[in-house]
Every structure is written in C-alpha cells, then in structure tokens.
Amino acid sequence: MLAHVFGYEREWPDQDLIGFSKEFDAPLTLAAYRSGVFPMPLASAPGDMGWWSPKQRGVLPLTALKVSRSLRRSATRYTTSVDQAFAAVVRRCADPAREGGWIDRDVVEVFTQLHAAGFVHSVEVWDDQDVLVGGLYGVSVGGLFAGESMFHDPERGRDASKVALVRLIEELAAGVPRHRLGLDRLLDVQWVTEHLASLGAVEVSRTRYLERLDRVLDAPGPRWPSPAQSRRAVELSALPAQLEGEHTTRGEHVA
C-alpha cells in the first residue's frame, strides 16, 4: 500500500523536487520509496537532502526492453552475478570523476544499510578475466525495483551496464506470468535519458506512476538468488522482451 510520508500528491509542488530535509536515514529512505519519492542531494544546499518525485517519471516496462543484436553479441562475453560485489558496484557508481555524480558518503552509508536489510540489491558483470566491468544497484520493495545507478568500464566493459540490466529484468520477471508483468512489477528509472530511451524506457505522469506503485507494493517480490549461487551468463531466451529481429506481440502497456 502506498505510504504518505511526504503527504499526498495533491499537496506537492508542481515540480520534480517536492521537499528537502536535514534528516536522512535508512527508515526514512525506505518510506520515501513506498511514497513514490527518492532522495538525491541538493548541490545548491550542502547538508540538505532533496526528495524527488518527477512530474514525468521514467519507467522501463519489462516487455519493452530493446535487446539489439550488438547487445546479444556482447552478452556472450560476460558473466553476471547478484549481490556478490555490492560495495564495489556502489563505489564505481559513486566515482566523483563521473559527470553528474551525486552519490556522496551519506548516500553510500544509507544504501549499504538497506542492502544489509535486504531492500537494496546489486547486479554485477564480470569479464573473462573475472574483472568487474559493469553493474547496477537499486531498491527492491514488493514488486517495485527502483534503479539508482549503473556503470560500465569504458575500456573493458562495452555494453556491460546493459548486460546488467538484462540480468536484472530476468530476475524481476522470473516466475511472473507475462500477462501479470505490468501489474506485479514496476521498474523505475527516475528520469528518461537518451540512453535509457534507447533501451525501451518511457515516461508516465506522476499520478499514473503513483497509481501503478500502489498496485505493485503489495505484490510478492522477486526471489533473489543467494550471492554464492547467482553467477551465470544472462539467458536471453528467458527474457519477456522482444529481441531485435523478432516479430512477436508485446503484452504490456504503459498509460
């Protein structure tokens, strides 16, 4: 059920940033995601945490993932895992040299606590020399997965962040009938960038997002594999998405 820690949508300002606070900890952050809100520090106000709920929210329908031929070729070069190197993934995502970097020490601490509590998961991508070359992490509550950040090694990890996304979608879709994916799963990507749009991400209104969130929060969540048993190649044949060159009808719609 949708929480209302930040009040009701009708009370929010007509902008993406709906509030800010000095307080920032794991319980408040988890409650925020249940409210359709996520944290991101305010560059203009050091020490304050910004709380965001974009008017146009980015989501990636699981059946809409675009898997190109080049991505399929890249996927054969890598092995993936779940929660085997969470700290390393966050550290790479938080690299201060990255353009637009926003993940500070407080964010790392809070998300590490949520990871220990089972609410945050990472997906890792390894090359044939067992070097971490890509990954992502995000918040998992019921049927919601809120993606926070992803990275790839520009020298060794071509398409590695995309491969991490493929593995994530495999985990989210596992055991869910195709016709239930739009009802029981919601992959939140916050804002649609050109990169995410190329992978199938679309925008929905804030109101529509909150309606969908309210449905999925009470859905059974993914059965995340144990880290020790999670390492494998991606299984493209198991994806609910349409691969480039195939001509099947997709079953999930976003309105």
CA distances from 146 to 10, 73, 111, 172 (A): 23, 27, 12, 12
> What is the pLDDT, as a whole number, of residue 100?
67
Does the pTM surpass 0.85? The reply is yes
Is 21's pLDDT higher than 80? yes
pLDDT-derived band at 253, boundaries 50, 70, 90: very low
Furthest-apart CA pair in the chain: how many Å? Answer: 53
Give the model confidence (pLDDT) of 104-158 as tens digits. 999 999 999 999 999 999 999 999 999 999 999 999 999 999 999 999 999 999 9
pLDDT above 80 for 251: no
Non-local CB neighbours of 54 within 8 Å, separated by 6+ positions: 16, 190, 191, 206
| Domain ranges across the chain | 9-54, 57-238
In which residue are the tokens 């890249």 written?
74
Main-chain dihedrals φ then ψ at residue 18, nearest 5 degrees: -100, -10
The number of residues making up the chain comes to 255
Residue 244 confidence class, pLDDT cut points 50, 70, 90: low
Average pLDDT, the chain: 92
Over range 198-214, report the average pLDDT: 97
What percent of the chain has pLDDT above 70? 94
Q: How confident is the model at residue 162 (pLDDT cuts 50, 70, 90)?
A: very high
Looking at domain 57-238, its CATH class is alpha beta
Confidence of residue 252 (pLDDT cuts 50, 70, 90): very low
Instruction: Choose between 186 and 96: higher pLDDT.
Output: 186
Report residue 54's pLDDT band, with 50, 70 and 90 as the boundaries.
Answer: very high
Q: Is 254's pLDDT higher than 70?
A: no
